[in-house]
Chains A and B, each alone.
Chain A
Amino acid sequence: MTELSAHLPQFQHGQLTENFPDNHLSNTNDNSERRRHDNNERRRNDNPESETNGQPQNNIQQVVEQDEEEDEELTLKYGAKHVIMLFVPVTLCMVVVVATIKSVSFYTRKDGQLIYTPFTEETETVGQRALNSILNAAIMISVIIVMTILLVVLYKYRCYKVIHGWLIISSLLLLFFFSFIYLGEVFKTYNVAMDYITVALIIWNFGVVGMICIHWKGPLRLQQAYLIMISALMALVFIKYLPEWTAWLILAVISVYDLVAVLCPKGPLRMLVETAQERNETLFPALIYSSTMIWLVNMAEEDPEAQRKASKNSSYDKQAPANQTQNEDAEADDGGFSREWQQQRDNRIGPIESTPESRAAVQALPSNSQTSEDPEERGVKLGLGDFIFYSVLVGKASATASGDWNTTLACFVAILIGLCLTLLLLAIFKKALPALPISITFGLVFYFATDNLVQPFMDQLAFHQFYI
């Protein structure tokens, strides 16, 4: 398998980096959208204040404000549903990864390392190993940072073709190549005989349908399923090719980086989000998981209605239909689904002001479509990179922990709680937030704690059959 490793880097490279920025991005998008959807009953008291923060930007009368507030409450009431809508795919992804790790031994065999992690971890001394893993992590992180900045630059200078091409190549690679390997390994594990022709047919169909679903139109469930599958595949590759300490270090550093990149004013991801907002554009397709998709016949019609309502904060929605003409490809479609709900409440005072021309153009369109969907149709979005890293954490926990299932369970619960808390913070701050740090921190803490502390305890208890 070593020869494969050589191929992997190049593509992974592309996939990696586009995932990361997008994961943050989508989070930021999500977050701004999600703050509405957030459930958590706790701290509802804060919401009135946060609403009043938005008020100054509001230049519409009291009536609309009143409506807004009521709508706001309505939204928040349904928030729990959206958290669950995120729980389910994250859980599914983790389950797939854990199931694969447990059954297919390929992913736990050490077959060499990626080109990005050149230092081996099988050294004689602990110190040497630590040093190597730190270096590995540093290299990986710098690669990610470079790719993110590259992506931001490309986006800023409107080199959309390049970005599209990059995305398409990497999703092609994932869908065909990695799933071929995966399928092969599963067949080997279960000793199923299969000829090449059948495999080719299966993989071809799988890949093509996947490409269509992700980059273009397709049934929502299918698209979600495909996104989950490619996240799981990616996570499996990481689990296989990253050595132990490096993996944990990378997880830790990535969450710090995520925090920094999204929240710092000069962070690349923040710039990306703001640029997207200014241009009223959607972010990249195929890198964001969305929980609902309302099919949009004519997206531009949203705008008039959107403008009618007040907006609170310019950092909310980005995917504006205003630039439909610019991106008539998958991007617009993908972004459109979650934008549907924006109809009821717009929160785009900033972007609207910045593109008065587009607004005028849109207003000229017939605004007869009511396309009023009920509030429950609103979707929540999460970046695929988040899926990947959560699954990497849980997968590594199940692969290499001495406490096996206990540790896996503990990490799983920790990640879910982290996700809840992130959404809660989202509701409070109403800003773009990174989804990684809290969950990964909890996950790491629980992993190490459970593995080293709880496991001996539980073993002893089980041995004596004591129950606590």
Chain B
Amino acid sequence: MTSTACFIIVSRNDIPIYEAEVGSAAKREDAAQLHQFVLHAALDIVQDLAWTTSAMFLKAIDRFNDLVVSVYVTAGHILYIYGTDLHVHNI
């Protein structure tokens, strides 16, 4: 079973602090840039959504082809964003 996940920690000023790619799928050449692009595109959605609820874990807020983006927002608006394959979306 192959699965990929990409994970970025973004500070409240939209500065990425940490980036990681995990997964057993064969890595494509542009996978890293694509993942970073997709996760950053989700930032706008997250920042609007974060004000509508007091929950910290926002699940499946955005989708790109088969990449599902979820985010955990801390009290200080630090964002833990990660994207997973649609097929293994069991979290």
Q: Do A and B come from one complex?
A: no
Interface residues of A (CB under 8 A from B): none
Interface residues of B (CB under 8 A from A): none
